Amino acid sequence: MYVLGIESSCDETAVAVYHATKGLIAHTLYSQIHTHSEYGGVVPELASRDHIRKLVPLIKSVLADADLQPNHIDGIAYTAGPGLMGALLVGAATARSLAWTWQIPAIAVHHMEGHLLAPMLEHRPPAFPFVALLISGGHTMLIEVRAIGKYHLLGESLDDAAGEAFDKTAKMLGLDYPGGPKLAELASRGQDRFKFPRPMTDRPGLEFSFSGLKTFTLNALHATEQTAQDKADIAFAFQRAVAETLNIKCKRALQQTQLKTLVVAGGVSANQEIRRQLQQMTSKEGAEIYFPRPEFCTDNGAMIAYAGCQRLLAGQTQNLEIFARPRWPMNQLPSL
């Protein structure tokens, strides 16, 4: 079964073809960074228009790369939410229309389920059950995963998501959008000089709160002459605080659930310091850790094609409705 996957929930137009037994066949992505960078963040209307421009050419190019004709495709998976409504509608309407034209089923995929299953695209995929840490621009969640669609939320962020905190802090340090990777690069030149808190780690529970770190960044910045080295040292302190906070909560989640497998996914899981700390912690705990390859940590079409393929194989499909949900709790997903 060949499944075409379409991702258009935010500022990346991404398309992939995944085969049920042969694995990932082809994937491609167009990033809208240049469209939004002059505004310092994603402009929803511009995102929708760019998806309209790019989606069909990308579908053609991925089919050409895969050496497939439309009649080889057995199903279409598209990101139906959560995300920007206009952006989602472009992917959903295109996917639904193509599926109708090609007389094949379509399936609506939850963007965060796509992230969660991205490590399944690797040579050594994790086995259920596991604890998943999902860290993206819009979400920070710890989930006990029993199987596809069997998700029990252990804790989430009460305010800013981890990626959002990276982006906002980066902005304060004068870095361009999207700030996460740029902040990480700046932090690599920083030294251990400032002490930032590890929010909500001094009490039980698996909730997160990252918005307070912004105040610390601002105060630290104002206490210096704001030289390049000062900013690098602040980036270092911020990144370490986020990494250690995630680490403490993941360790707690593994202990609480008695599970020995941790899966980490979403854009922020591309961060090397976070990966290093979590790797160290799981190895001490005698647990296994799994990440997607860095390019599949951030938004991509492969994870959507994979997740959709699993649901289509289980017989799930969407009716002719163009299904898009800007907000869509993961616990509303059916199990397989």
* First vs last C-alpha separation in the chain: 17
The answer to whether 18 and 3 have CB atoms below 8 angstroms apart is: yes
Amino acid present at 169: T
167 contact choice in Zn ion, ligand KG4, none (CB below 5 to 8 Å, kind-dependent): ligand KG4
How many whole angstroms separate alpha carbon 142 and alpha carbon 126? 16
CB of 94 to ligand KG4, least distance (A): 20
Where in 169-208 is the site for ligand KG4 (CB under 6 A)? 178-181, 184
270 binds ligand KG4 per the rule CB under 6 A = yes
Task: Report if residue 32 touches ligand KG4, rule: CB under 6 A.
Answer: no
- Under the criterion CB under 6 A, does residue 267 sit at the interface with ligand KG4? yes
> 233 or 299, CB closer to Zn ion?
299
Closest to ligand KG4 by CB, 98 or 270: 270
In the complex, least distance from residue 117 CB atom to Zn ion, rounded to whole angstroms: 12
Residues 282-301 that bind Zn ion (CB under 5 A): 299
Site string for ligand KG4, 296-335 (x = CB under 6 A): --xx------------------------------------
Provide CB contacts within 8 A for 66, sequence distance 6+: 2, 17, 25, 26
Give the other-Cβ count within 10 Å of 3's Cβ.
28
Instruction: Return the exposure string of 271-294: e unless at least 16 CB atoms fall within 10 Å of the residue's CB, then b.
Output: bebbbebbeebbeeeebbbbbbee
Minimum separation from the CB atom of position 165 to ligand KG4 (A): 8
Q: Is 266 among the residues that bind ligand KG4 (CB under 6 A)?
A: yes
Angle at 86 between CA 83 and CA 88, to 5 degrees: 50
Q: How far apart are CA 137 and CA 144, in angstroms?
A: 21
Verify binding: residue 230, ligand KG4, rule CB under 6 A. Answer: no
Question: Which stretches within 212-259 are classed as H helix?
Answer: 212-222, 228-257
98 or 142, CB closer to ligand KG4? Answer: 142
Please select the residue that binds ligand KG4; options are 105, 138, 155, 308, rule is CB under 6 A: 138
CB of 328 to ligand KG4, least distance (A): 13
25-58 burial code (b ≥16 CB/10 A, e <16) = bbbbbbebeeebeeeeebbeebbbbbbbebbeeb
String of contacts with Zn ion for each residue 50-89, x by CB under 5 A:
----------------------------------------
Among Zn ion, ligand KG4, none, the one that 157 touches (CB under a kind-dependent 5 to 8 A) is none
Task: For residue 273, give the 3-state DSSP assignment.
Answer: helix
Query: Smallest distance, Å, CB 299 to ligand KG4?
Result: 4
Instruction: Specify which residues 7 forms β-bridges with.
Output: 14
75 binds ligand KG4 (CB under 6 A): no
Look up residue 103 and give its two tokens: 């007389």
Pick out residues in 115-144 that bind Zn ion (CB under 5 A). Answer: 136
Question: Environment class of residue 239 by beta-carbon count within 10 Å: exposed (0-12), middle (13-18) or buried (19+)?
Answer: buried
The tally of CA atoms less than 13 A away on the side-chain side of residue 97 is 8
Q: Are 126 and 120 in contact (CB under 8 A)?
A: yes
Q: Does 82 bind ligand KG4 (CB under 6 A)?
A: no
- From Zn ion, ligand KG4, none, which one binds at residue 268 (CB under 5 to 8 Å depending on kind)? ligand KG4
Using CB under 5 A, list all residues that contact Zn ion.
136, 299
Using CB under 6 A, list all residues that contact ligand KG4.
10, 115, 136-138, 163, 166-167, 178-181, 184, 266-268, 270-271, 298-299
